[in-house]
A and B are shown apart, each in its own frame.
Chain A
Amino acid sequence: MDNLSATEVRGLRVTRGGREVLSGIDAQIRAGRITGLLGPSGSGKSTLIRAIVGVQRISAGSVTVLGHPAGAAVLRTQVGYAGQTAAVYPDLSVAENLRYFAAVRGDDPAEVQRVIDLVGLGGREKQLASRLSGGQLSRVSLAVALLGRSRLIVLDEPTVGLDPVLRAELWELFHRLAGQGVSLLVSSHAMDEAERCDELMLLREGRLLFHDTLARLLERTGEPDAERGFISLVGNMEVAA
Protein backbone atom coordinates (compact mmCIF):
# COMPACT_ATOMS: atom_id res chain seq x y z
CA MET A 1 0.00 0.00 0.00
CA ASP A 2 1.40 3.42 -0.85
CA ASN A 3 1.16 6.26 1.63
CA LEU A 4 -1.28 8.05 -0.65
CA SER A 5 -4.10 5.72 0.29
CA ALA A 6 -5.89 6.01 3.60
CA THR A 7 -7.85 2.83 3.12
CA GLU A 8 -7.44 -0.14 0.87
CA VAL A 9 -10.29 -2.56 0.30
CA ARG A 10 -9.59 -5.86 -1.45
CA GLY A 11 -12.18 -8.40 -2.56
CA LEU A 12 -14.49 -7.44 0.27
CA ARG A 13 -17.57 -9.60 0.70
CA VAL A 14 -20.11 -9.21 3.46
CA THR A 15 -23.16 -11.32 4.18
CA ARG A 16 -25.90 -9.90 6.39
CA GLY A 17 -29.10 -11.64 7.35
CA GLY A 18 -28.31 -14.52 4.94
CA ARG A 19 -27.90 -12.24 1.92
CA GLU A 20 -24.70 -11.09 0.28
CA VAL A 21 -24.71 -7.33 0.82
CA LEU A 22 -21.24 -6.52 -0.53
CA SER A 23 -20.12 -8.72 -3.43
CA GLY A 24 -16.42 -8.14 -3.90
CA ILE A 25 -15.42 -4.52 -3.42
CA ASP A 26 -11.97 -3.31 -4.49
CA ALA A 27 -11.09 0.28 -3.76
CA GLN A 28 -8.43 2.66 -2.54
CA ILE A 29 -9.49 5.72 -0.63
CA ARG A 30 -6.92 8.43 -1.12
CA ALA A 31 -5.37 10.34 1.73
CA GLY A 32 -6.11 14.02 2.24
CA ARG A 33 -9.18 13.88 -0.01
CA ILE A 34 -12.90 13.83 0.44
CA THR A 35 -14.32 10.67 -1.02
CA GLY A 36 -18.07 10.63 -1.47
CA LEU A 37 -19.78 7.27 -1.12
CA LEU A 38 -23.01 7.44 -3.10
CA GLY A 39 -25.66 4.94 -3.97
CA PRO A 40 -29.33 4.13 -3.53
CA SER A 41 -30.84 3.06 -0.27
CA GLY A 42 -29.86 -0.50 0.58
CA SER A 43 -26.86 -0.53 -1.80
CA GLY A 44 -24.45 -1.27 1.05
CA LYS A 45 -22.95 2.15 1.92
CA SER A 46 -23.36 1.75 5.67
CA THR A 47 -22.09 -1.81 5.51
CA LEU A 48 -18.93 -0.74 3.68
CA ILE A 49 -18.40 2.05 6.18
CA ARG A 50 -18.86 -0.35 9.09
CA ALA A 51 -16.26 -2.65 7.53
CA ILE A 52 -13.80 0.26 7.26
CA VAL A 53 -14.22 1.31 10.90
CA GLY A 54 -13.85 -2.33 11.90
CA VAL A 55 -17.22 -3.20 13.41
CA GLN A 56 -18.59 -5.27 10.52
CA ARG A 57 -17.97 -9.00 10.37
CA ILE A 58 -16.80 -9.79 6.83
CA SER A 59 -16.91 -13.09 4.97
CA ALA A 60 -14.01 -12.56 2.55
CA GLY A 61 -11.39 -10.06 1.48
CA SER A 62 -9.46 -7.50 3.48
CA VAL A 63 -9.74 -3.92 4.63
CA THR A 64 -6.54 -2.04 5.46
CA VAL A 65 -6.78 1.35 7.14
CA LEU A 66 -3.71 3.61 7.52
CA GLY A 67 -1.58 0.52 7.07
CA HIS A 68 -3.33 -1.64 9.65
CA PRO A 69 -6.15 -4.17 9.43
CA ALA A 70 -9.50 -2.39 9.97
CA GLY A 71 -10.45 -2.34 13.63
CA ALA A 72 -6.86 -2.79 14.86
CA ALA A 73 -6.24 -1.34 18.33
CA VAL A 74 -3.81 1.31 17.04
CA LEU A 75 -6.52 2.71 14.77
CA ARG A 76 -8.98 3.39 17.55
CA THR A 77 -7.70 6.90 18.19
CA GLN A 78 -6.86 7.65 14.55
CA VAL A 79 -10.23 6.99 12.97
CA GLY A 80 -13.24 9.18 13.73
CA TYR A 81 -16.63 7.67 12.99
CA ALA A 82 -20.21 8.86 13.00
CA GLY A 83 -22.76 6.25 11.99
CA GLN A 84 -26.03 6.84 10.22
CA THR A 85 -28.01 7.20 13.46
CA ALA A 86 -26.95 9.78 16.01
CA ALA A 87 -25.07 7.49 18.39
CA VAL A 88 -25.05 9.70 21.48
CA TYR A 89 -26.73 9.42 24.87
CA PRO A 90 -30.08 11.22 24.78
CA ASP A 91 -30.12 11.56 28.57
CA LEU A 92 -26.80 13.42 28.72
CA SER A 93 -26.11 17.03 27.82
CA VAL A 94 -24.14 17.93 24.71
CA ALA A 95 -20.98 18.61 26.74
CA GLU A 96 -21.38 15.48 28.90
CA ASN A 97 -21.64 13.34 25.78
CA LEU A 98 -18.48 14.79 24.31
CA ARG A 99 -16.62 14.70 27.61
CA TYR A 100 -17.33 10.99 27.91
CA PHE A 101 -16.22 10.12 24.38
CA ALA A 102 -13.15 12.33 24.74
CA ALA A 103 -12.25 10.54 27.99
CA VAL A 104 -12.67 7.16 26.32
CA ARG A 105 -10.42 8.23 23.45
CA GLY A 106 -7.94 9.75 25.88
CA ASP A 107 -8.21 13.18 24.24
CA ASP A 108 -7.28 16.51 25.74
CA PRO A 109 -10.40 17.85 27.57
CA ALA A 110 -10.05 21.07 25.55
CA GLU A 111 -11.16 19.06 22.52
CA VAL A 112 -14.73 19.09 23.84
CA GLN A 113 -15.27 22.82 23.37
CA ARG A 114 -13.34 22.85 20.10
CA VAL A 115 -15.59 20.31 18.40
CA ILE A 116 -18.78 21.80 19.87
CA ASP A 117 -17.82 25.12 18.26
CA LEU A 118 -16.82 23.39 15.00
CA VAL A 119 -20.32 22.00 14.49
CA GLY A 120 -21.98 25.25 15.52
CA LEU A 121 -23.43 24.10 18.82
CA GLY A 122 -21.67 26.69 20.97
CA GLY A 123 -24.12 27.93 23.62
CA ARG A 124 -25.97 24.60 23.78
CA GLU A 125 -23.39 22.74 25.86
CA LYS A 126 -25.76 22.18 28.77
CA GLN A 127 -28.79 21.14 26.75
CA LEU A 128 -29.86 17.50 26.97
CA ALA A 129 -29.35 15.65 23.69
CA SER A 130 -32.96 14.44 23.83
CA ARG A 131 -34.14 18.08 23.74
CA LEU A 132 -32.23 18.93 20.55
CA SER A 133 -33.71 19.11 17.08
CA GLY A 134 -32.89 16.27 14.69
CA GLY A 135 -30.25 18.28 12.88
CA GLN A 136 -28.67 19.48 16.11
CA LEU A 137 -28.56 15.92 17.40
CA SER A 138 -26.81 14.65 14.28
CA ARG A 139 -24.27 17.46 14.70
CA VAL A 140 -23.49 16.25 18.23
CA SER A 141 -22.83 12.85 16.73
CA LEU A 142 -20.65 14.47 14.06
CA ALA A 143 -18.74 16.37 16.76
CA VAL A 144 -17.79 13.06 18.40
CA ALA A 145 -16.22 11.95 15.11
CA LEU A 146 -14.15 15.16 15.00
CA LEU A 147 -12.62 14.64 18.46
CA GLY A 148 -8.89 14.33 18.77
CA ARG A 149 -7.85 15.14 15.23
CA SER A 150 -8.19 11.71 13.66
CA ARG A 151 -6.33 10.98 10.43
CA LEU A 152 -9.34 9.35 8.82
CA ILE A 153 -12.88 10.55 9.42
CA VAL A 154 -15.73 8.37 8.26
CA LEU A 155 -19.21 9.87 8.21
CA ASP A 156 -22.38 8.02 7.29
CA GLU A 157 -24.89 10.54 5.88
CA PRO A 158 -23.81 13.45 8.08
CA THR A 159 -25.88 16.09 6.28
CA VAL A 160 -29.27 14.38 6.19
CA GLY A 161 -32.02 16.66 7.47
CA LEU A 162 -29.90 19.80 7.53
CA ASP A 163 -30.83 23.05 5.85
CA PRO A 164 -28.80 24.20 2.81
CA VAL A 165 -26.86 26.84 4.75
CA LEU A 166 -25.77 24.41 7.41
CA ARG A 167 -24.93 21.79 4.80
CA ALA A 168 -22.72 24.28 3.00
CA GLU A 169 -21.00 25.15 6.28
CA LEU A 170 -20.31 21.52 7.07
CA TRP A 171 -18.90 20.87 3.61
CA GLU A 172 -16.64 23.87 4.11
CA LEU A 173 -15.49 22.29 7.35
CA PHE A 174 -14.84 18.97 5.60
CA HIS A 175 -12.72 20.77 3.01
CA ARG A 176 -10.77 22.59 5.70
CA LEU A 177 -10.05 19.24 7.35
CA ALA A 178 -8.97 17.71 4.04
CA GLY A 179 -6.72 20.73 3.56
CA GLN A 180 -5.02 19.83 6.83
CA GLY A 181 -4.31 16.34 5.46
CA VAL A 182 -7.25 14.49 7.01
CA SER A 183 -8.86 11.88 4.78
CA LEU A 184 -12.63 11.85 4.72
CA LEU A 185 -15.12 9.27 3.57
CA VAL A 186 -18.63 10.71 3.49
CA SER A 187 -21.71 8.83 2.39
CA SER A 188 -24.78 10.46 1.03
CA HIS A 189 -27.68 9.70 -1.20
CA ALA A 190 -28.13 13.30 -2.15
CA MET A 191 -26.46 13.34 -5.56
CA ASP A 192 -26.02 17.11 -5.50
CA GLU A 193 -23.40 16.56 -2.80
CA ALA A 194 -21.27 14.72 -5.34
CA GLU A 195 -19.98 18.07 -6.59
CA ARG A 196 -18.46 18.77 -3.23
CA CYS A 197 -16.35 15.61 -3.17
CA ASP A 198 -12.87 15.16 -4.61
CA GLU A 199 -13.67 11.59 -5.60
CA LEU A 200 -16.82 9.56 -5.97
CA MET A 201 -17.59 5.96 -5.25
CA LEU A 202 -20.90 4.80 -6.69
CA LEU A 203 -22.28 1.73 -5.06
CA ARG A 204 -25.19 -0.28 -6.33
CA GLU A 205 -26.49 -3.60 -5.01
CA GLY A 206 -23.25 -4.37 -3.24
CA ARG A 207 -20.98 -3.62 -6.20
CA LEU A 208 -18.80 -0.62 -6.94
CA LEU A 209 -20.02 0.84 -10.24
CA PHE A 210 -17.59 3.71 -10.45
CA HIS A 211 -14.69 5.18 -8.51
CA ASP A 212 -13.10 8.35 -9.84
CA THR A 213 -13.70 12.10 -9.99
CA LEU A 214 -17.01 13.70 -10.89
CA ALA A 215 -15.40 15.15 -14.04
CA ARG A 216 -14.53 11.64 -15.21
CA LEU A 217 -18.07 10.43 -14.52
CA LEU A 218 -19.55 13.23 -16.62
CA GLU A 219 -16.98 12.68 -19.35
CA ARG A 220 -17.66 8.94 -19.45
CA THR A 221 -21.42 9.22 -19.52
CA GLY A 222 -21.79 12.51 -21.39
CA GLU A 223 -24.30 13.68 -18.80
CA PRO A 224 -24.47 17.15 -17.20
CA ASP A 225 -24.62 16.14 -13.51
CA ALA A 226 -23.88 13.35 -11.05
CA GLU A 227 -27.46 12.22 -10.76
CA ARG A 228 -27.96 11.70 -14.48
CA GLY A 229 -24.45 10.30 -14.78
CA PHE A 230 -25.30 7.69 -12.21
CA ILE A 231 -28.59 6.78 -13.85
CA SER A 232 -26.84 6.49 -17.19
CA LEU A 233 -24.18 4.17 -15.68
CA VAL A 234 -26.88 1.95 -14.21
CA GLY A 235 -28.69 1.90 -17.55
CA ASN A 236 -25.52 0.85 -19.40
CA MET A 237 -24.98 -1.95 -16.88
CA GLU A 238 -28.48 -3.23 -17.48
CA VAL A 239 -28.08 -3.13 -21.25
CA ALA A 240 -24.80 -5.00 -20.93
CA ALA A 241 -26.36 -7.62 -18.65
Chain B
Amino acid sequence: MSGARTWATARRVLQQLGHDRRTVALLVLFPSVLMVLLRYVLDQPERFDRTGPALIGIFPFTIMFLVTSVVTLRERRDGTLERLMTMPLGRLDFLLGYALAFGLTALLQVGVVVLVTVAGLGLEVGGSVGLLVLVAALDALLGTALGLFTSAFARSEFQAVQFMPLVVMPQVFLCGLFVPREAMTPVLEAVSNVFPLSYAVEAVAAIAAGTDQNLVRDLGIVAAAALLALGLGAVTLRRKTA
Protein backbone atom coordinates (compact mmCIF):
# COMPACT_ATOMS: atom_id res chain seq x y z
CA MET B 1 0.00 0.00 0.00
CA SER B 2 1.20 3.52 -0.69
CA GLY B 3 -0.26 6.86 0.34
CA ALA B 4 0.93 8.54 -2.86
CA ARG B 5 -0.76 5.96 -5.09
CA THR B 6 -3.97 5.99 -3.06
CA TRP B 7 -4.10 9.75 -3.31
CA ALA B 8 -3.25 9.69 -7.03
CA THR B 9 -6.20 7.35 -7.53
CA ALA B 10 -8.55 9.51 -5.45
CA ARG B 11 -7.46 12.60 -7.36
CA ARG B 12 -8.00 10.84 -10.67
CA VAL B 13 -11.54 9.78 -9.67
CA LEU B 14 -12.31 13.35 -8.57
CA GLN B 15 -10.94 14.67 -11.88
CA GLN B 16 -13.24 12.28 -13.74
CA LEU B 17 -16.18 13.62 -11.75
CA GLY B 18 -14.96 17.16 -12.40
CA HIS B 19 -15.29 16.63 -16.13
CA ASP B 20 -18.85 15.35 -15.71
CA ARG B 21 -20.76 18.40 -14.49
CA ARG B 22 -24.12 16.75 -14.87
CA THR B 23 -23.24 13.83 -12.61
CA VAL B 24 -21.83 16.23 -10.03
CA ALA B 25 -25.03 18.28 -10.11
CA LEU B 26 -27.12 15.13 -9.73
CA LEU B 27 -24.92 13.83 -6.92
CA VAL B 28 -24.92 17.05 -4.96
CA LEU B 29 -28.42 18.39 -5.59
CA PHE B 30 -30.66 15.42 -6.22
CA PRO B 31 -30.97 14.14 -2.63
CA SER B 32 -31.99 17.65 -1.56
CA VAL B 33 -34.62 17.83 -4.30
CA LEU B 34 -36.02 14.49 -3.11
CA MET B 35 -36.10 15.80 0.46
CA VAL B 36 -38.11 18.83 -0.61
CA LEU B 37 -40.49 16.54 -2.48
CA LEU B 38 -40.84 14.28 0.55
CA ARG B 39 -41.49 17.22 2.84
CA TYR B 40 -44.50 18.21 0.78
CA VAL B 41 -45.71 14.65 0.25
CA LEU B 42 -45.75 14.07 4.02
CA ASP B 43 -47.24 17.51 4.51
CA GLN B 44 -47.04 17.55 8.32
CA PRO B 45 -43.78 18.62 10.06
CA GLU B 46 -44.10 15.87 12.71
CA ARG B 47 -44.24 13.13 10.10
CA PHE B 48 -41.30 14.70 8.27
CA ASP B 49 -39.33 14.81 11.52
CA ARG B 50 -39.85 11.05 11.84
CA THR B 51 -38.87 10.00 8.29
CA GLY B 52 -36.48 12.76 7.26
CA PRO B 53 -33.45 11.70 9.33
CA ALA B 54 -33.60 8.09 8.10
CA LEU B 55 -33.52 9.35 4.53
CA ILE B 56 -30.50 11.53 5.24
CA GLY B 57 -28.77 8.22 5.92
CA ILE B 58 -30.35 6.26 3.06
CA PHE B 59 -29.92 8.63 0.09
CA PRO B 60 -26.12 8.92 0.16
CA PHE B 61 -25.81 5.18 0.83
CA THR B 62 -27.93 4.28 -2.19
CA ILE B 63 -26.50 6.84 -4.58
CA MET B 64 -22.88 6.04 -3.75
CA PHE B 65 -23.59 2.33 -4.08
CA LEU B 66 -24.92 2.84 -7.59
CA VAL B 67 -22.24 5.26 -8.74
CA THR B 68 -19.44 3.07 -7.42
CA SER B 69 -20.82 -0.14 -8.95
CA VAL B 70 -21.06 1.40 -12.38
CA VAL B 71 -17.70 3.18 -12.27
CA THR B 72 -15.72 0.16 -11.10
CA LEU B 73 -17.50 -2.07 -13.57
CA ARG B 74 -16.32 0.30 -16.30
CA GLU B 75 -12.74 -0.05 -15.04
CA ARG B 76 -12.99 -3.80 -15.42
CA ARG B 77 -14.67 -3.64 -18.82
CA ASP B 78 -12.49 -0.94 -20.43
CA GLY B 79 -9.22 -2.62 -19.47
CA THR B 80 -8.00 0.20 -17.23
CA LEU B 81 -8.11 -2.09 -14.20
CA GLU B 82 -6.14 -4.76 -16.09
CA ARG B 83 -3.59 -2.12 -17.02
CA LEU B 84 -3.32 -0.88 -13.43
CA MET B 85 -2.80 -4.48 -12.30
CA THR B 86 0.36 -4.59 -14.46
CA MET B 87 1.61 -1.51 -12.58
CA PRO B 88 2.76 -1.09 -8.98
CA LEU B 89 -0.71 -0.20 -7.71
CA GLY B 90 -1.79 -2.14 -4.62
CA ARG B 91 -5.32 -3.47 -4.54
CA LEU B 92 -5.92 -1.43 -1.41
CA ASP B 93 -4.51 1.70 -3.11
CA PHE B 94 -7.21 1.23 -5.72
CA LEU B 95 -10.05 0.59 -3.28
CA LEU B 96 -9.07 3.24 -0.75
CA GLY B 97 -8.54 5.73 -3.57
CA TYR B 98 -12.15 5.23 -4.58
CA ALA B 99 -13.35 5.30 -0.98
CA LEU B 100 -11.48 8.57 -0.39
CA ALA B 101 -12.79 10.25 -3.54
CA PHE B 102 -16.38 9.19 -3.00
CA GLY B 103 -16.15 9.86 0.74
CA LEU B 104 -15.18 13.48 -0.01
CA THR B 105 -17.95 13.74 -2.60
CA ALA B 106 -20.40 12.31 -0.09
CA LEU B 107 -19.37 14.92 2.46
CA LEU B 108 -20.36 17.63 0.00
CA GLN B 109 -23.58 15.85 -0.93
CA VAL B 110 -24.60 15.27 2.66
CA GLY B 111 -23.60 18.78 3.69
CA VAL B 112 -26.01 20.20 1.12
CA VAL B 113 -28.84 17.84 1.97
CA VAL B 114 -28.50 18.50 5.70
CA LEU B 115 -28.39 22.25 5.12
CA VAL B 116 -31.50 22.14 2.95
CA THR B 117 -33.36 19.83 5.30
CA VAL B 118 -32.51 21.60 8.53
CA ALA B 119 -32.38 25.24 7.46
CA GLY B 120 -34.82 25.12 4.55
CA LEU B 121 -37.37 22.49 5.54
CA GLY B 122 -37.20 22.99 9.30
CA LEU B 123 -36.24 19.47 10.32
CA GLU B 124 -35.71 19.37 14.09
CA VAL B 125 -32.25 18.08 14.96
CA GLY B 126 -31.68 17.54 18.67
CA GLY B 127 -28.02 16.58 18.40
CA SER B 128 -25.04 18.09 16.56
CA VAL B 129 -25.60 18.91 12.90
CA GLY B 130 -21.90 18.44 12.16
CA LEU B 131 -22.05 14.94 13.60
CA LEU B 132 -25.12 14.24 11.48
CA VAL B 133 -23.14 15.16 8.35
CA LEU B 134 -20.22 12.95 9.36
CA VAL B 135 -22.42 9.97 10.08
CA ALA B 136 -24.32 10.34 6.81
CA ALA B 137 -20.97 10.52 5.00
CA LEU B 138 -19.99 7.29 6.73
CA ASP B 139 -23.21 5.74 5.39
CA ALA B 140 -22.15 6.88 1.92
CA LEU B 141 -18.79 5.20 2.46
CA LEU B 142 -20.61 1.99 3.35
CA GLY B 143 -22.49 2.28 0.04
CA THR B 144 -19.21 2.83 -1.81
CA ALA B 145 -17.59 -0.19 -0.16
CA LEU B 146 -20.56 -2.43 -0.94
CA GLY B 147 -20.63 -1.13 -4.50
CA LEU B 148 -16.91 -1.91 -4.96
CA PHE B 149 -17.50 -5.42 -3.68
CA THR B 150 -20.68 -6.30 -5.57
CA SER B 151 -19.49 -4.88 -8.90
CA ALA B 152 -17.10 -7.84 -9.05
CA PHE B 153 -20.12 -10.05 -9.66
CA ALA B 154 -21.61 -8.00 -12.46
CA ARG B 155 -20.73 -8.69 -16.08
CA SER B 156 -22.45 -5.61 -17.47
CA GLU B 157 -23.63 -2.21 -16.35
CA PHE B 158 -27.14 -3.57 -16.70
CA GLN B 159 -26.41 -6.28 -14.15
CA ALA B 160 -24.63 -3.84 -11.87
CA VAL B 161 -27.73 -1.69 -11.73
CA GLN B 162 -29.77 -4.80 -10.90
CA PHE B 163 -27.77 -5.20 -7.71
CA MET B 164 -29.48 -2.12 -6.40
CA PRO B 165 -32.86 -3.89 -5.85
CA LEU B 166 -30.93 -6.95 -4.68
CA VAL B 167 -28.56 -5.36 -2.18
CA VAL B 168 -30.03 -1.98 -1.35
CA MET B 169 -33.83 -2.34 -1.37
CA PRO B 170 -34.14 -5.11 1.26
CA GLN B 171 -31.91 -3.07 3.55
CA VAL B 172 -34.10 -0.01 3.01
CA PHE B 173 -37.31 -2.00 3.70
CA LEU B 174 -35.94 -3.45 6.91
CA CYS B 175 -33.97 -0.50 8.28
CA GLY B 176 -36.90 0.92 10.22
CA LEU B 177 -37.92 3.54 7.68
CA PHE B 178 -41.40 2.13 7.12
CA VAL B 179 -41.97 0.14 10.32
CA PRO B 180 -39.92 0.42 13.50
CA ARG B 181 -37.58 -2.56 13.66
CA GLU B 182 -38.88 -3.62 17.10
CA ALA B 183 -42.37 -3.93 15.62
CA MET B 184 -41.34 -6.42 12.91
CA THR B 185 -41.90 -10.15 13.15
CA PRO B 186 -38.93 -11.81 14.90
CA VAL B 187 -37.60 -13.28 11.67
CA LEU B 188 -37.58 -9.95 9.86
CA GLU B 189 -36.13 -8.22 12.88
CA ALA B 190 -33.34 -10.80 12.98
CA VAL B 191 -32.63 -10.16 9.30
CA SER B 192 -32.64 -6.43 9.86
CA ASN B 193 -30.12 -6.96 12.65
CA VAL B 194 -27.53 -8.27 10.20
CA PHE B 195 -28.04 -5.46 7.66
CA PRO B 196 -25.54 -2.64 8.21
CA LEU B 197 -27.93 0.00 6.90
CA SER B 198 -30.15 -0.62 9.96
CA TYR B 199 -27.40 0.69 12.21
CA ALA B 200 -26.59 3.53 9.85
CA VAL B 201 -30.20 4.72 9.97
CA GLU B 202 -30.42 4.18 13.73
CA ALA B 203 -27.34 6.36 14.23
CA VAL B 204 -28.73 9.18 12.09
CA ALA B 205 -32.09 8.95 13.87
CA ALA B 206 -30.41 9.02 17.28
CA ILE B 207 -28.53 12.22 16.43
CA ALA B 208 -31.67 13.84 15.06
CA ALA B 209 -33.54 12.88 18.24
CA GLY B 210 -30.74 14.31 20.36
CA THR B 211 -30.06 11.04 22.17
CA ASP B 212 -26.69 9.34 22.08
CA GLN B 213 -28.30 5.99 22.57
CA ASN B 214 -26.17 3.22 21.03
CA LEU B 215 -24.48 5.83 18.85
CA VAL B 216 -20.93 4.60 19.37
CA ARG B 217 -21.96 0.98 18.88
CA ASP B 218 -23.92 1.81 15.71
CA LEU B 219 -21.09 3.82 14.22
CA GLY B 220 -18.66 1.03 15.08
CA ILE B 221 -20.87 -1.48 13.26
CA VAL B 222 -21.24 0.72 10.17
CA ALA B 223 -17.50 1.35 10.01
CA ALA B 224 -16.74 -2.36 10.53
CA ALA B 225 -19.20 -3.32 7.77
CA ALA B 226 -17.60 -0.81 5.40
CA LEU B 227 -14.13 -2.18 6.20
CA LEU B 228 -15.36 -5.74 5.74
CA ALA B 229 -16.85 -4.87 2.35
CA LEU B 230 -13.57 -3.20 1.34
CA GLY B 231 -11.66 -6.28 2.47
CA LEU B 232 -13.96 -8.52 0.44
CA GLY B 233 -13.57 -6.09 -2.44
CA ALA B 234 -9.78 -6.53 -2.21
CA VAL B 235 -10.22 -10.30 -2.37
CA THR B 236 -12.35 -10.08 -5.52
CA LEU B 237 -9.82 -7.80 -7.18
CA ARG B 238 -7.47 -10.22 -8.91
CA ARG B 239 -4.25 -9.41 -10.67
CA LYS B 240 -4.62 -12.50 -12.83
CA THR B 241 -7.95 -13.22 -14.46
CA ALA B 242 -9.26 -15.98 -16.70
A residues with a Cβ closer than 8 A to B are 15-17, 50, 53-57, 71, 73, 76-77, 79, 81-83, 85-93, 96, 100-101, 103-106, 128, 144
Report the Cα distance A81→B11, complex, angstroms. Answer: 23
Q: Is the interface of A mostly helix, strand, loop or mixed?
A: mixed
A71 near B240 with CB under 8 A, answer: yes
Hey, what's the 0/1 contact readout for B77-121 against A, CB within 8 Å counting as 1? Answer: 011101111111100000000000000000000000000000000
| CB contact list, B170-206 vs A, under 8 A | none
Contact B85 A91 (CB under 8 A): no
Q: Which of chain A's residues have a CB closer than 8 A to the CB of B16?
A: 89, 91-92
CB-based contact B15/A144 at 8 Å: no
Spot the interface stretch: B1-9, B57-65, B209-217: B1-9
A103 to B4, CA, bound (A): 8
What CA separation (Å) do A115 and B83 show in the bound complex? 17
Interface residues of B (CB under 8 A from A): 4-5, 8-9, 11-12, 15-16, 19-20, 78-80, 82-89, 239-242
Contact, CB under 8 Å: A104 / B89: yes
Closest 3 CB pairs of A and B: A87-B79, A103-B8, A76-B88
Q: Are B241 and A144 in contact (CB under 8 A)?
A: no
Q: Choose from B12, B78, B88, B242 the contact partner of A100 (Cβ within 8 Å).
A: B12
Q: Are A87 and B83 in contact (CB under 8 A)?
A: yes
With A and B bound together, what is the CA distance between A91 and B70 in angstroms?
14
5 of the cross-chain contacts (CB-CB < 8 Å) are: A55-B82, A83-B79, A87-B78, A92-B19, A103-B5
| Option from B15, B20, B83, B89 in Cβ contact (under 8 Å) with A83 | B83
Complex interface: chain B residues within 8 A of A81 (CB):
83, 86
- Contacts A55-B241, A89-B16 given; indicate if A104 touches B84 (C-beta within 8 A): yes
